[in-house]
């Protein structure tokens, strides 16, 4: 609307015009006041000559109602952000009465931190359209998020920005719910992914297990069976259509083994650890065969239990073989016990024999003596005297044999003779004293080298017997064609043993007879007097003390007998304290 541009008129006309303008101004002022007080709605339009305000009386009633009733805040802003119009909803959203809004700047609702953004939004709005979200501070100071849609409008040549303000607090809540939903959906997706992975693991495992020559199965982490390979169905003859029915597989286990298998399986499920258990499983022919069952947990890359994998390996033959070995060992033990009993019986027999034979031979000797008394020498036929002598010889030999038997049976009783540290030197000297006649007779020489080991751990009585037997043999079985040289040595040997060695340059032995050498009543040289009991006794005494005897000999060269005696338990022999 432009001012009247008619040609200049009369003063009266000018006065009328002036009056009309005054009237117009008054109306405008009234209108503004009315608008300000909220009495009526108005539209203020920025014109070239300043803002022009239009009431909305004349505007299309339908649009007006729509804008007034709508649930979005609507406003028109002038160039300097003056609110030219706003609806009741906006007033409500900003907690400000309408009359404090229209004609005032919108900027007072823009908090400082949003000013820059708002300026940008406005600039874009003036350029055409813009849209954004920002916080506004309402009249009570509360901050609220708004979605703002800016749109430049032209009313004639007047331009203004129409703003639709939507409260998005509610949207925010919905967004929160949406986020939650999205999160739950994502979780579901992850679970499904895990299930898919599990299914895939089962599928992959199955593919691997299918070709295995062993029975194999898988189960879920909770223990629910998920797969059995072909070997199972082939072995049991179970129909492949019967899948994991309750106890359908368990019924193939031997009833005696089932409780233990189940116990171990429950243990696995509880602990997450693997297990091995042996059980018998029935095959298609109804025979039970021993199987080694292995249960292993299978984990994914982050260590979670994905499934259980199990196998059954046929160990039937192996198990039976083990049973046979067990049986054989049992029999061996029984045999050993029996042999031990036989040995004890034999020992008892030797004792009894030596005892019981002594009585009759003593009687025979007594009777022989009686006969001699009854047949005085001068009354005897010549033949009788030599017969009596031969009888006496036989009796003497019989008595000697009994004597040896007695020695052996004594040796058995003396098994428990206590071992202790014994000085070798005096024992050797003592034995040499006893053997002096023999040594002299054969012209023998003895060299002694015991400095390395002057003390051995043995029963003194037995040590004397060992030294006596070895030395007397060494001299007895000398080679008559060369000077008899015997040496006795003692030295530490491996594993804490002490080696006592007697070496001679005598007749020597054929080593194939070693077994006989240490046998009871074995004599290898008939031309030399001997009981055949000495080496047997030596071997027995040494072995009873936990030692052993070895012989090294060459026929016509000489022999070396080495006795290995164990060191005392708990180290060296205790030193004898003076005083």
How would you class 2 by CB atoms within 10 Å of its CB: exposed for 0-12, middle for 13-18, buried for 19 or more?
Answer: exposed
Measured CA to CA, the distance from residue 453 to residue 499 in angstroms comes to 9
Query: Which structure tokens are listed for 180?
Result: 């939650």
Is residue 370 a contact residue for other proteins (CB under 8 A)?
A: yes
Shortest separation between residue 369's beta carbon and other proteins, angstroms: 8
- In degrees rounded to 5, what are phi and psi of residue 61? -60, -40
The tokens 């009687």 sit on which residue?
A: 363
Query: Minimal distance in Å, beta carbon 276 to other proteins?
Result: 55
Nearest CB to other proteins, comparing residues 408 and 431:
408
Which CB, 328 or 367, lies closer to other proteins? 367
Min dist CB 461 to other proteins, Å, is 16
Stretch touching other proteins by CB under 8 A, among 2-10, 249-257, 362-370, 444-452? 362-370
Residues 298-337, one symbol each (x = binds other proteins by CB under 8 A, - = not), give ----------------------------------------
Least CB distance to other proteins at residue 466 (A): 23
Instruction: Tell me: does residue 180 bind other proteins (CB under 8 A).
Output: no
The least distance separating other proteins from the CB of residue 365, rounded to whole angstroms, comes to: 7
Q: State which residue, 114 or 395, has the beta carbon closest to other proteins.
A: 395
Min CB(412)–other proteins separation in Å: 12
Contacts of 287 (CB under 8 A, 6+ apart): none
Q: In this chain, which stretch among 141-149, 356-364, 434-442, 553-561 interacts with other proteins, using CB under 8 A? A: 356-364
**Residue 534 in contact with residue 518, Cβ under 8 Å?**
no
Binds other proteins by CB under 8 A, chosen from 175, 271, 327, 363: 363
Q: Which of 141, 160, 26, 62 is nearest to 102 (CA)?
A: 160
Residue from 296, 358, 372, 516 binding other proteins (CB under 8 A): 358
Task: For the segment 472-531, give every residue that binds other proteins (CB under 8 A).
Answer: none
Rank residues 406 and 485 by Cβ distance to other proteins and give the closer one: 406
3-state secondary structure of 522: coil
Q: Which three-class secondary structure string do you get for 484-514?
A: CEEEEEEEECHHHEEEEEEEECCCCCCHHHH
Alpha-carbon gap, residue 348 to 380, rounded angstroms: 43
CB of 362 to other proteins, least distance (A): 5
Contact assessment for residue 216 and residue 309, using Cβ atoms and an 8 Å cutoff: yes
We find the least distance from the C-beta atom of residue 352 to other proteins, in angstroms, to be 10
- DSSP string over 416-468: GPPPEEEEHHHHHHHHHHHHHHHHHHHT-EEEEE-TT--EEEE-HHHHHHHHH
Region near other proteins per CB under 8 A, out of 167-175, 324-332, 334-342, 350-358: 350-358
Residue closer to other proteins, measured from CB, 406 or 544: 406
Which of 365, 407, 460, 514 lies at the binding interface for other proteins (CB under 8 A)? 365
Closest CA to 432 of 480, 483, 487: 487
Closer CB to other proteins, 245 or 374, in the complex: 374
> Binding pattern to other proteins, positions 254-293, x when CB under 8 A?
----------------------------------------
Q: Which among 149, 295, 159, 144 is positioned nearest to 218, based on CA atoms?
A: 295
* Closer to other proteins by Cβ: residue 244 or 351: 351
| Euclidean distance between CA atoms 203 and 369, whole angstroms | 106
Closest to other proteins by CB, 319 vs 358, is 358
d(CA 534, CA 511): 18
Site for other proteins in 389-418 (CB under 8 A): 406, 413
Site for other proteins (CB under 8 A): which residue of 7, 11, 48, 359? 359
Question: Using the rule CB under 8 A, which residue among 354, 469, 498, 562 binds other proteins?
Answer: 354
CB atoms within 10 A of CB 486: 23
Number of residues that bind other proteins (CB under 8 A): 15
**Residue 366 near other proteins by CB under 8 A:** yes
How far apart, in Å, are the Cα atoms of 42 and each of 83, 235, 290, 523? 12, 96, 101, 150
Least separation in angstroms between residue 468's CB and other proteins is 23
By DSSP bridging, strand 445-449 and strand 485-492 are: parallel
424-453 residues near other proteins, rule: CB under 8 A: none
Smallest separation, CB 403 to other proteins (Å)? 11
DSSP state of 567: P
Nearest to other proteins of 357, 551 (CB atom) = 357
In terms of residues, how long is the chain? Answer: 579
The 3-state DSSP class for residue 179 equals helix
Distance, in Å, from the CA atom of 328 to the CA atom of 65, rounded to the nearest integer, reads 110
Q: Give 72 or 365: the residue with its C-beta nearer to other proteins.
A: 365
Q: CB–CB of 201/219 below 8 Å?
A: no
Q: Which two tokens stand for residue 427?
A: 């024992």
Of the listed pieces 163-171, 272-280, 347-355, 513-521, which binds other proteins according to CB under 8 A?
347-355
Binding-site member from 224, 324, 333, 355 for other proteins (CB under 8 A): 355
Extract long-range pairs of 82-86: CB within 8 Å, 24+ residues apart. 82/51, 82/106, 84/43, 84/44, 84/45, 84/46, 84/51, 84/160, 85/41, 85/42, 85/43, 85/44
Q: Which of 575, 540, 538, 450 is nearest to 500 (CA)?
A: 450
> Least distance (Å) from other proteins to the CB of residue 287?
59
- Is 37 a binding residue for other proteins by CB under 8 A? The answer is no
Which residues form the interface with other proteins (CB under 8 A)?
A: 351, 354-356, 358-360, 362-363, 365-367, 370, 406, 413
């Amino acid at each position: 609307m432009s001012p009247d541009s008619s040609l200049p008129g009369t003063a009266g006309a000018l006065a009328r015009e002036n009056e009309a303008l005054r009237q117009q101004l008054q109306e405008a002022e009234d209108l503004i006041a009315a608008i300000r007080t909220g009495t009526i709605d108005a539209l203020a339009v920025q014109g070239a000559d300043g803002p022009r305000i239009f009431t909305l009386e004349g505007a299309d009633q339908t649009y007006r109602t729509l804008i007034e009733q709508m649930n979005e805040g609507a406003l028109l802003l002038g160039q300097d952000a003056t609110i030219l119009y706003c609806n009741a909803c906006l007033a409500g959203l900003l907690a400000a009465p309408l009359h404090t809004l229209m004609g005032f700047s919108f900027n007072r609702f823009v908090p400082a931190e949003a000013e820059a953004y708002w300026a940008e939004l406005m600039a874009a709005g003036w350029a055409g359209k813009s849209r954004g979200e920002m916080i506004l501070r309402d009249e009570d100071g509360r901050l609220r998020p708004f979605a703002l849609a800016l749109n430049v409008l032209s009313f004639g040549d007047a331009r203004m920005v129409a703003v639709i303000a939507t409260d998005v607090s509610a949207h925010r809540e919905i967004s929160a719910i949406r986020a939650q939903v999205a999160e739950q959906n994502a979780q579901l997706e992850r679970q499904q992914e895990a299930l898919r992975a599990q299914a895939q693991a089962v599928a992959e495992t199955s593919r691997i297990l299918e070709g295995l020559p062993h029975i194999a199965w898988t189960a879920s982490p909770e223990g629910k069976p998920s797969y059995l390979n072909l070997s199972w169905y082939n072995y049991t003859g179970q129909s492949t259509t019967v899948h994991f029915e309750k106890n359908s597989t368990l019924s193939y286990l031997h009833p005696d083994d089932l409780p233990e298998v189940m116990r171990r399986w429950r243990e696995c499920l509880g602990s997450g650890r693997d297990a091995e258990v042996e059980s018998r499983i029935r095959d298609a022919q109804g025979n039970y065969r021993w199987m080694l069952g292995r249960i292993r947990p299978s984990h994914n890359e982050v260590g979670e239990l994905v499934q259980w994998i199990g196998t059954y390996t046929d160990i039937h033959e192996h198990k039976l073989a083990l049973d046979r070995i067990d049986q054989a060992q049992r029999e061996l033990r029984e045999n050993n016990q029996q042999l031990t009993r036989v040995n004890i019986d034999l020992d008892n027999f030797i004792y009894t024999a030596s005892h019981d034979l002594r009585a009759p031979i003593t009687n025979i000797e007594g009777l022989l003596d009686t006969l001699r008394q009854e047949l005085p020498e001068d009354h005897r036929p010549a033949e009788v005297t030599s017969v009596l002598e031969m009888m006496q010889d036989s009796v003497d030999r019989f008595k000697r044999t009994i004597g040896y038997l007695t020695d052996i049976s004594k040796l058995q009783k003396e098994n428990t003779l206590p071992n202790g540290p014994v000085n070798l030197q005096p024992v050797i000297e003592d034995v040499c004293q006893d053997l002096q006649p023999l040594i002299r007779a054969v012209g023998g020489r003895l060299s002694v080298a015991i400095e390395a080991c002057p003390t051995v751990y043995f029963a003194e009585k037995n040590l004397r017997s060992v030294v006596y037997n070895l030395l007397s043999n060494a001299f007895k079985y000398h080679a008559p064609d060369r000077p008899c040289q015997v040496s006795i040595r003692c030295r530490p040997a491996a594993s804490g043993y002490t080696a006592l060695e007697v070496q001679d340059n005598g007749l020597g032995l054929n080593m194939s007879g070693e077994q006989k050498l240490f046998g009871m009543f074995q004599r290898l040289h008939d031309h030399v007097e001997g009981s055949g009991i000495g080496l047997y006794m030596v071997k027995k005494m040494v072995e009873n003390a936990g030692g052993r005897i070895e012989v090294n000999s060459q026929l016509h060269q000489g022999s070396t007998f080495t006795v290995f005696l164990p060191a005392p338990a708990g180290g060296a022999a205790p030193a004898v304290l003076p005083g």
